Amino acid sequence: MAKKPAYKELEQRVKELEKEIARLKGAKEAIQKNESRLKEAEQLAQLGHWELDLVANILYWSDEIYRIFDLDPQKFGATYEAFLDTVHPDDRKLVNEAYKESVKSRTGYDIVHRLLLKDGTIKFVHEKCETIYGKDGKPLRSIGTVQNITKWKQEEHSFSGIIGRNAKMKELFATIREVTEVNIPTLIQGESGTGKELVAKAIHNEGPRANKAFVPVNCGALPEGLLESELFGHVKGAFTGALRDRKGRFEMARDGTLFLDEIVDMSKAVQVKLLRVLQDGKFERVGSEKTITADVRIISAANRDLKREVDRGNFRKDLYYRISVIPIHLPPLRKRKDDIPLLVDYFLEKASREGQNTGGISKDAIAVMIDYSWPGNVRELQSAIQYAIIKSKNQIIQPYHFPLELKGHKVEQHSRGPSRKLDAESVQDAITRCGGNKAKAARFLGVGRATLYRFLANYPDLLSSINESG
Ligand SMILES: Nc1ncnc2c1ncn2[C@@H]1O[C@H](COP(=O)(O)OP(=O)(O)OP(=O)(O)O)[C@@H](O)[C@H]1O
Ligand SMILES: [Mg+2]
């Protein structure tokens, strides 16, 4: 008899426990759901978080941090050393000091720096950190975020695959944006290897014709008769060897873009025919009387000054004005040396994306590249990097890994002068050579530190490119 209430009580207790288990299970599931949501959000934003317990000296990294650093969580414990090892060697001092200073001054930090991954990939990250202090004022723990901003950083200095941060390149990006929407004949001029074809493709790809054909014709590579049939097509029997009807490049480029490369070399006879197409959009295949019309965007390129060829009587003036409604001049690389480090990073990164391992590049090697005159422009720089990647065999690229023309090139020191006048180009050049160290740059330029600081105060753009204080 006495057992009954005890049994009931027990039964009641079991029910309560079951309820509690169900509640805990629900809570656990909710936590897991939140965790996986957080993970998804971190992955989407490419933003990882870390926490450093300064009392127990334990560092925690979220999965996304491992992903951004390209480290295997099974092989790498989260340590400050492993983190610093992943930071680009040129940025280590900046990162290390930013953290120490932030703990000391209780201000937290907010910086952008580079990572150099084991396979040579360079990433840009935005880091923020805050430290929490105990009642006694001692730091307890630091929490921070790391966001991969490589894509945004690259887009800031590039347009449709054209890399550049020099003012002339920024102007070029603006012009391309303006001309993409309207079909106006554009003439791109610049030395060999400056990126004329790249710009022509960008104009096509960024505009409404992007999903139509981009058809290049090298006007310098074909003899006169052949160029005409190449451009306008021919009918069977039009000339010996014309065994069947053939479409020309104009027809192939219908509703798309025709890129007339090396137009300086076009014969006078073909120039007349081209002028007619540009005037009324009409042409005939060689050997045919049937008139064809085609809506084609014309972009031309010349690596010699076309106006000079007009003055010399080698190129028709009327055609010149027709094809050059929008003239674009690409500066040679020696006139935009501030783009060299950016291009080097870009080509190294491209190589590593394509599966070639690279060990980064030394400051000395960059200095040699900045000093060299690059007669073959960006194409030559791209080849030099490819050559150096192979010669350096995964090690840091040094000047002796370069092709002969560059290797034999000695970096000249600027002469010191008491009243040397500063200009943005040489200041940027000096700062780049000196790895961002302002004191060294001032010495290099032969001016006092104060003079350089005064100059920089008026050039905030230059200042933002410096990541170390001298
Ligand atoms: N600003 C740039 N950013 C990235 N790559 C570039 C840039 N300029 C040129 N290149 C690269 O350099 C190489 C040469 O460029 P491109 O063929 O467009 O030059 P070009 O002016 O047409 O030369 P050429 O007169 O000899 O035909 C290409 O591989 C191109 O992708
Ligand atoms: Mg070309």
Residue 100's domain comprises 46-153
Decide if 41 is inside a domain.
Answer: no
Decide if 439 is inside a domain.
Answer: yes
**C-alpha–C-alpha distance, residues 129 and 107, integer Å:** 9
Mean of pLDDT values over 436-445: 77
Residue ending a domain, among 129, 153, 177, is: 153
Same domain, yes or no: 308 and 166: yes
Check which CATH number belongs to the domain holding 244 and give it. Answer: 3.40.50.300
Substitution site in 155, 162, 194 for ligand 1 pocket (most atoms within 8 Å of beta carbon): 194
Ligand 1 first shell, C-beta below 6 A: 162-164, 190, 192-198, 303, 378-379, 382
Same domain, yes or no: 27 and 145: no
Same domain, yes or no: 272 and 184: yes
Decide if 413 is inside a domain.
Answer: no
The Å distance, Cα 187 to ligand 2 centre, comes to: 13
Decide if 383 is inside a domain.
Answer: yes
- What are the tens digits of pLDDT across the range 135-177? 999 999 999 999 999 888 877 888 999 999 999 999 999 999 9
Decide if 230 is inside a domain.
Answer: yes
Same domain, yes or no: 107 and 226: no
Residue ending a domain, among 283, 306, 331, is: 331
The Å distance, Cα 162 to ligand 1 centre, comes to: 9
Q: Which residue is closest in CA terms to ligand 1's atom 12? A: 379
Q: Which amino acid is present at 214? A: F
Q: What is the pTM of this model?
A: 0.70
Decide if 211 is inside a domain.
Answer: yes
Residue ending a domain, among 331, 346, 380, is: 331
- pLDDT at residue 469, as a whole number: 38
The Å distance, Cα 342 to ligand 1 centre, comes to: 15
The Å distance, Cα 193 to ligand 1 centre, comes to: 5
Confidence band for 416, pLDDT divided at 50, 70 and 90: very low
Q: Which residue is closest in CA terms to ligand 1's atom 13? A: 379
Same domain, yes or no: 317 and 402: no
Same domain, yes or no: 84 and 113: yes
Q: How many domains does the chain have?
A: 5
The number of the ligand 1 atom at minimal distance from the alpha carbon of 188 is 21
The Å distance, Cα 327 to ligand 2 centre, comes to: 16
The number of the ligand 1 atom at minimal distance from the alpha carbon of 346 is 4
- Does 125 have pLDDT greater than 50? yes
Cα Rg, the chain, nearest whole Å: 32
The Å distance, Cα 318 to ligand 2 centre, comes to: 24
Decide if 412 is inside a domain.
Answer: no
The number of the ligand 1 atom at minimal distance from the alpha carbon of 382 is 12
Confidence band for 432, pLDDT divided at 50, 70 and 90: confident
